[in-house]
Amino acid sequence: MTNIKVNSRLLGLKDVKVHVDDYGGDGRPVVLIHGWPLSGESWSEQIAAFSGAGFRVITYDRRGFGRSDKPKTGYSYDTLADDLAGLLEELDLQDVSLVGFSMGGGEVARYIAKHGQKRLHSVVFAAAVTPMMMNEPGNPEGPLEKSKAAEMTAQLTADQDKFYDGFTTDFFSANADGNLLVTEQQHQDAIRLCRQADKAAALEAMQSFGISDFREDLTKVTVPTLVIHGDADGVVPFEGSGRRTHKAISHSELVVIEGAPHGFNVSHADEFNGAVTGFLARSA
């Protein structure tokens, strides 16, 4: 990745500036939307693979995270989808493939529901929080229990360093069993990205991905779609999220990576990259 030229800048949107890394090229644009509470840097294992496959790769840091502005408000999915729309408009991107990881999958769904698909070519839901995380009477298959959500909020509020260490361990271990499937350096890199997040933004965004309902949004997805998930994801379990997203988008392709945890774009980078670039090529 070090040999790939990148144009990095703060892109002014309606009420916020977001950090964008544009790896250029003449190929179809692929916009990578990162998970919580990381940044666009979390796609480091994908840049060379996607660029090498002929695509123009663009990453950005969600408002409140990474190197972007950190306003006190604006962490609902409606606003985050508007930020994505603003980015596509400012860069005048057409025929775009969106790849939404974890929380970023919600932005893909809400973007389509609010802004349509005229700029889109295809989409990827990678370990995504769709269709709805919170387990409640109207969503009994939701994989996130209210008690767990409250526990996460309390732990992050009390000691963010301790929380991020534990969260990233779960992120990179099969079924969140604590045994890392990445190097300790990769684990520490993720913690570093977490620490760049504004604490208030992290808390608000965590609430958003916990309670937001994307079930109706998913019915509006008609472009070619890939759902990719690890079957050992202990953070956003496949049965309550990836499988349901695939079922909700009847035309979608499904790839399940055996033994892969939530952070499978790092732990199983070769399998992840092969599956996604293969899909992007097939949907050309």
Task: Return the active site residues.
Answer: 102, 233, 262
Residue with tokens 């079957």: 231
Residue with tokens 């499904």: 254
Check: CB of residue 123 under 8 Å from CB of residue 108. Answer: yes
CA distances from 137 to 140, 152, 217, 222, 272 (A): 6, 21, 20, 29, 34
Render the burial of 202-213: b for 16+ CB within 10 Å, e for the rest: bbbbbbbbbbbb
- In the DSSP assignment, the letter for residue 174 is G
Check: CB of residue 119 under 8 Å from CB of residue 94. Answer: yes
Question: Peptide bond preceding 131: is omega within 30 degrees of 0, i.e. cis?
Answer: yes
Residue with tokens 């970023």: 104
Six-digit token string for 223 = 């472009």
Which alpha helices (H) appear in 91-183, and where do they start and end?
103-115, 146-158, 160-171
End-to-end C-alpha distance for the chain, whole angstroms: 24
